[in-house]
Amino acid sequence: MRIDILTLFPDMFEGPFTQSIIKRAVARGHLEIHLHDIRDHTLDKHKRVDDYPFGGGAGMVMMAEPIALCIEKLQAERKYDAIIFMTPDGETFSQSHANRLSLHENIIILCGHYKGVDERVREMFVTEEISIGDYVLSGGELPAMVVVDALARIIPGVLNDETSALSDSFQDGLLSAPVYTRPADFRGHKVPEILLSGNDRLIGEWKLEQQLERTRQRRPDLLEKLDFDK
């Protein structure tokens, strides 16, 4: 999978994209990430990428032209399956959304800043808009990192244990069961006996019960959405 990210702050991605799972996904050739500085595509002699909003109002608006030129340059090189704009008024990101996106070959993620981007960019180029939650961040960079991380971990071959992404919370519509490691007794707090039993069937049943109980207590809304016929 190839992800092209359009941003005014490419350096923000340095840390998260050179560590852990994303680093491994890139190193193993499962994921290609290309960062594009929108400022490199402005035709303005002062390299301006934002301007005052027509009709007044607070804040600056990212201009259409540099973004359009950057997208068009990429589109001339390959076909994109999705052009995603990170914005608080987009569809709320979810595991099923990540699963769907992970099937794509090439995607563009556009990060907004200031008061947003000129609406015509959204009309002319953007195919979907994603929010990571009902709060406003300073820009789309952190949300883009969230989306890339969620995608990287579900690309087959990225995680060592193939089943481990499948057992993530939300993958089956439930929260995860609690997990324990050594020692079996930590300051008098013992690991549930069943996990030491070696009986895979009983352990599997216990885990499912725990998942259901945790989901019932913490996120009953998820149980209502469960499709038991799947």
Give the footprint of ligand ADE on this chain (CB under 6 A). 86-88, 112, 131-133, 135-137, 140, 143
Minimum distance of ligand ADE from residue 166's CB (angstroms): 26
Minimum distance of ligand ADE from residue 129's CB (angstroms): 8
Non-local CB neighbours of 48 within 8 Å, separated by 6+ positions: 42, 63
- Which tokens hold the place of 25? 């996904």
Minimum distance of ligand ADE from residue 109's CB (angstroms): 10
Nearer to ligand ADE, 133 or 183 (CB): 133
- Report the alpha-carbon distance of residue 174 to residue 172 in Å, rounded: 5
- Which tokens hold the place of 216? 């019932």
Minimum distance of ligand ADE from residue 94's CB (angstroms): 13
Minimum distance of ligand ADE from residue 123's CB (angstroms): 18
Nearer to ligand ADE, 88 or 173 (CB): 88
- Report the alpha-carbon distance of residue 6 to residue 200 in Å, rounded: 47
Nearer to ligand ADE, 66 or 140 (CB): 140
Per DSSP, 190 falls in state E
Q: Say which amino acid occupies 37.
A: D
Minimum distance of ligand ADE from residue 128's CB (angstroms): 12
- Report the alpha-carbon distance of residue 71 to residue 4 in Å, rounded: 9
- Report the alpha-carbon distance of residue 128 to residue 64 in Å, rounded: 17
Nearer to ligand ADE, 133 or 204 (CB): 133
From the list 163, 197, 167, the residue with the least C-alpha distance to 179 is 167
Nearer to ligand ADE, 133 or 157 (CB): 133
Nearer to ligand ADE, 118 or 215 (CB): 118
From the list 141, 96, 91, the residue with the least C-alpha distance to 114 is 141
What one-character-per-residue DSSP string does 84-97 give?
EEEEEEEEEP-HHH
From the list 166, 165, 152, the residue with the least C-alpha distance to 30 is 152
